[in-house]
Structure 1
Amino acid sequence: MASTRVVILPFPCQGHVIPMMELSHSLVEHGFKVTFVNTEFNHVRVLQALPNKGSNLKGINLVSIPDGLHPGEDRNDLGLLAEGFTKVMPGHLEELIRENNEKGEDKIKWLIADQNMGWSFPVAKKMGVRIACFWPASTACLTIMMLIPKLIEDGVLDEKGWPKRDEILQIAPKMPPIRTSQLSWNEIGDPRGQPTIFKLVTDNNKYMELAEVTVCNSFYEIESGAYTLFPNLLPIGPLLPDSKFEKSLGLFWPEDSTCMNWLDEQPQKSVIYVAFGSFTIFSEVQFKELAHGLVLTGQPFLWVVRPDFTTGLSKEWVDEFLVANKEKCRIVSWAPQQQVLAHGSVACFMSHCGWNSTLEGVRNGLPFLCWPYFTDQFTNQSYICNVWRNGLKMEADESGIVSRERVRDRVKELLASEEIATRVQELKESAGRSLSIGGTSYQDFKRFVNLMMKE
């Protein structure tokens, strides 16, 4: 039987590219051919960060289309980014599909697109391509988005998506309670971009009706409340490309794998892994408080500090800090995170609570110290602290700073908690069962693959 070619289209941010690349590898293993579409800007970054010249991308063809922004424009401004790609990318995607299919062989049969790129569904429909919707974040977050009309009708939100009152929203049992002021579309950074993002969200809800199936990077047991509300959603996660960590994840920065040698030298369950994803920005004051707080714990720590992680901090200060704490501290610009979290020396994960990081920590049996920055990360923190009970919040003081003493105390409290340790192990085992033969995610992925193989 000839291989089915699918187009994979992620939202153009690192946290969306990674799970869709993981999905791509899984589909290749089941005989599919993948055309993976990044924006031109991200395509260049992925190629530059690829190890071994992309030899670990077998069956996946990387291509690119423009995002509508000019060189130098801020692609971390989600409102600006969404405004650009919704205008420009539909025409380029249509052209990509047409050019491929006019060649007469290896025609594109399916589009699997990020739900956040719902504009692509009418394009696929027009071109006679079948549509699958992929949701890369928590299903709880998607559920809340799908319930926007009801939240407006109930007077929780106004017509523009802003809360009419600040309250705790509990959608259903086993769903994470979330403040109405912290709903994902209202926590995007610059509030001037909120109208664009809210329109994108509501438009995408309508576009979902064009998809034959919606699959989620999650598993039933960890989000049963959301799946009870919307039983047609298929959880197929936690997605994992390979157990040896050899396949490319479409990273935007080269990994510094030398930190793995450093981890090998540390005692079992001793290291604090500190990583805040691809967007989080710290002030100079907060950076220094965190640095000193990590030292006060007395634990070794591995800290991912992107080049743009903080502003105003001198290289001299960082160099002096590293020299003074060389026995206990390792700082890298980007880490092979999945390998790090699977390493036996790691004791806990201080995280921004992005969904990929959240699932990776759960799958590897690690407790969390939660430090969310924006969008859905507050929902994920609520899951961790209020529903799953496998972590603690890093709470700021009256000045908005998490002090060094607070960092020290929270780490010690987390590592001493037997209740959290028990929950962490239970969640790890649950994730493993879902992916095992006969497990919930195993079965749902099988249904997904069978659907795509049907003519």
Structure 2
Amino acid sequence: MGNPHILAIPYPAQGHVLPLMEFSQRLVIKHGFMVTFVNTEYNHKRVVNAMAEKNHLGDQIHLVSIPDGLDPWEDRTDLGKLSEAIFRVMPRKLEELIEDVNRSEGDHITCVVTDFSMGWALEVAEKMKIPRAAFWPASSATLALIFNIPKLIDSGIINSDGTTTKSQLIHLAPNMPTMSTTNFVWSCVGDLTSQKIIFEVIVKNNNYLKAADWLLCNSSSDLEPAAFGMAPEIIPIGPLLASNRGQNSAGHFWQEDTACLEWLDQQPRRSVVYVAFGSFTVFDQTQFQELALGLELSNRPFLWVVRPDITQGTSYAYPAGFLERVAGRGRLVGWAPQQKVLGHPSIACFLSHCGWNSTIEGVSSGVPFLCWPYFADQPSNESYICDVWKVGLKFNRDERSGIVTQGEIKKKVDKLLCDENFKARALDLQEMAANNVKEGGCSDKNLNNFVEWLKA
């Protein structure tokens, strides 16, 4: 028998593609596996176009694609609509793809590793008698919440469709993040119809999980001891970061602007505010401009990632004269090599949307946070950062306008960077995360156990 051949299939979103791609690279580079990596057709084109080096992944990771059920021009930020299309089309297409691979000369698929949010792929693999693992790219606390849905319904905290009649804060266990019922992972995604669809998909995925041989999580036992204690079936193998290997991450939807690293080289040590809101966050014009003015008011150098689609509508407008006024200390890019940025000695703090990838990247770089969550699991990640780990600060919104004002931004930047305790705790957390993935660490051992199972 040759080396194992993994078929990996992420949920079609940037925050899901990146960690599963890193996991795939680990299996290839360290263990000699072969990986067939399945994106949707829409995302496959984006990933290939964004690669600076087209053969970056070498011969052992084969990028392939299947349709997601939507036409190219349809809105893929409508997650309810996307989820329905995926379930309608992708299971059959995945089965056909596996059959095609197994008919061709070479190694057959020996294991399917699927994102938990694509749980139907576990059923496809079970039907085809292929070993299977589920991969959870976010915090174990969020997955523990999902596992507790039946208890939340029985206790009256949520209704059977995931909705809630009143807002309340809950703790699943001591030393876990605070969660608001109005900010549950399914409760702040799109409109009410989308929220109900997402909730139904999550419940289905809980059932699909019964077919998984392994449940792997991009986190570590030391970062989330209480959550892993609640759900011991979740196996931590993270943080999975290319920077831990001294390499570049792969799977981006936008081409990275690496010139910003040269700009960082010219900035004083621990001086730069790094601002990045991931791949989904969208601002209205008022909030976008207030953020710009807040960065200007901070009077500190900043590196700001401004995606082309970061504001509502077709374009964004900076405040009058903003670009000219900050030209000497502000750098704006469309997409950044984030792990390398966060590891740069000139970075002082990370103003972040608190997506899990960004959270563990900041933690693994020993950087304190300013938290601005947008949706899904980000509010609970903010609670980890500010309430549990105490390595960051939250922003308060103006009671009348509902926006984060420029004055609030300056105030929190100053407060965070003038208190060395935040940096000290961030460095302690960095060491903790590093110990888990180094040779002999808990995550490293778990990953090796999974590899040995595949080879058996």
Query: After superposition, where does 1:53-132 map in structure 2 within 5 Å?
Result: 53-132=54-133
Per the alignment, in what secondary structure is the counterpart of residue 255 of structure 1?
coil
Alignment equivalent of 1:431, drawn from 430, 433, 440: 433
Could you say which residue in structure 1 is the equivalent of 2:414?
A: 412
Indicate conservation of the 8 Å contact 2:308/2:315, yes or no: no
Per the alignment, in what secondary structure is the counterpart of residue 186 of structure 1?
coil
Change (3 A) 1:199 1:316: closer
Deviation, 1:247, is 4.0
Query: After superposition, where does 1:370-381 map in structure 2 within 5 Å?
Result: 370-381=371-382
Query: Bigger CA drift: 434-443 or 34-43?
Result: 434-443
Could you say which residue in structure 2 is the equivalent of 1:272?
A: 273
**Distance between the aligned counterparts of 1:246 and 1:76, measured in 2?**
30
Indicate conservation of the 8 Å contact 1:270/1:345, yes or no: yes
- The letter of the residue matching 1:223 is E
Deviation, 1:419, is 2.6
Could you say which residue in structure 1 is the equivalent of 2:384?
A: 383
**What are the superposed Cα offsets for residues 197-229 of structure 1, whole Å, 9 maximum, x if unpaired?**
011000000111100110100000110111111
**What are the superposed Cα offsets for residues 89-117 of structure 1, whole Å, 9 maximum, x if unpaired?**
00000001111112253000100000000
Indicate conservation of the 8 Å contact 1:23/1:241, yes or no: no
**Distance between the aligned counterparts of 1:244 and 1:129, measured in 2?**
30
Change (3 A) 1:51 1:105: same
Deviation, 1:422, is 2.1
Per the alignment, in what secondary structure is the counterpart of residue 161 of structure 2?
coil
**Distance between the aligned counterparts of 1:286 and 1:242, measured in 2?**
33
Per the alignment, in what secondary structure is the counterpart of residue 184 of structure 1?
coil
**Distance between the aligned counterparts of 1:415 and 1:88, measured in 2?**
50
Could you say which residue in structure 2 is the equivalent of 1:363?
A: 364
Deviation, 1:314, is 6.6
- The letter of the residue matching 1:6 is I
**Distance between the aligned counterparts of 1:99 and 1:158, measured in 2?**
43
Could you say which residue in structure 1 is the equivalent of 2:21?
A: 21
**Distance between the aligned counterparts of 2:75 and 2:389, measured in 1?**
36
Could you say which residue in structure 1 is the equivalent of 2:171?
A: 170
- The letter of the residue matching 1:449 is V
Could you say which residue in structure 2 is the equivalent of 1:259?
A: 260
Size of the alignment, in residue pairs?
454
Alignment equivalent of 2:446, drawn from 444, 447, 455: 444
Query: Bigger CA drift: 417-426 or 342-351?
Result: 417-426
**Distance between the aligned counterparts of 1:73 and 1:414, measured in 2?**
41
Change (3 A) 1:360 1:316: closer
**What are the superposed Cα offsets for residues 295-328 of structure 1, whole Å, 9 maximum, x if unpaired?**
1111100000000101469777468422221111
Per the normalisation by structure 1, the TM-score is 0.97
Change (3 A) 1:60 1:319: farther
**Distance between the aligned counterparts of 2:64 and 2:71, measured in 1?**
19
Change (3 A) 1:244 1:221: closer
Indicate conservation of the 8 Å contact 1:255/1:336, yes or no: yes
- The letter of the residue matching 1:90 is P
Per the normalisation by structure 2, the TM-score is 0.97
**What are the superposed Cα offsets for residues 27-78 of structure 1, whole Å, 9 maximum, x if unpaired?**
0021110000000000000111011113334410000000000121100111
Indicate conservation of the 8 Å contact 1:56/1:248, yes or no: no
Indicate conservation of the 8 Å contact 1:305/1:334, yes or no: yes
Change (3 A) 1:19 1:319: farther
Query: After superposition, where does 1:46-57 map in structure 2 within 5 Å?
Result: 46-57=47-58
**Distance between the aligned counterparts of 1:106 and 1:319, measured in 2?**
60
**Distance between the aligned counterparts of 2:374 and 2:276, measured in 1?**
12
- The letter of the residue matching 2:177 is P
Change (3 A) 1:311 1:158: closer
Query: After superposition, where does 1:286-305 map in structure 2 within 5 Å?
Result: 286-305=287-306
Change (3 A) 1:344 1:122: same
- The letter of the residue matching 1:400 is G
Deviation, 1:426, is 1.0
Could you say which residue in structure 2 is the equivalent of 1:239?
A: 240
Indicate conservation of the 8 Å contact 1:216/1:235, yes or no: yes
**What are the superposed Cα offsets for residues 135-157 of structure 1, whole Å, 9 maximum, x if unpaired?**
00110000000100011011111
**Distance between the aligned counterparts of 2:260 and 2:246, measured in 1?**
15
Per the alignment, in what secondary structure is the counterpart of residue 222 of structure 2?
helix
**Distance between the aligned counterparts of 1:318 and 1:404, measured in 2?**
12
Per the alignment, in what secondary structure is the counterpart of residue 287 of structure 1?
helix
**Distance between the aligned counterparts of 2:76 and 2:203, measured in 1?**
22
**Distance between the aligned counterparts of 2:288 and 2:316, measured in 1?**
13
2:156 aligned with 1:155: yes
Could you say which residue in structure 2 is the equivalent of 1:341?
A: 342
Indicate conservation of the 8 Å contact 2:15/2:357, yes or no: yes
**Distance between the aligned counterparts of 2:114 and 2:455, measured in 1?**
17
- The letter of the residue matching 1:23 is F
Query: After superposition, where does 1:133-212 map in structure 2 within 5 Å?
Result: 133-212=134-213
Change (3 A) 1:257 1:50: same
**Distance between the aligned counterparts of 1:437 and 1:190, measured in 2?**
45
Gaps of 5+ in 1: none
Per the alignment, in what secondary structure is the counterpart of residue 289 of structure 1?
helix
**Distance between the aligned counterparts of 2:177 and 2:455, measured in 1?**
36
Identity of aligned residues (%): 48
- The letter of the residue matching 1:401 is I
Deviation, 1:189, is 2.4
Change (3 A) 1:419 1:316: closer
Query: Bigger CA drift: 119-128 or 352-361?
Result: 119-128
**Distance between the aligned counterparts of 2:236 and 2:432, measured in 1?**
14
Deviation, 1:283, is 1.1
Query: Bigger CA drift: 167-176 or 347-356?
Result: 167-176
Query: Bigger CA drift: 40-49 or 306-315?
Result: 306-315
2:33 aligned with 1:38: no
Deviation, 1:287, is 1.0
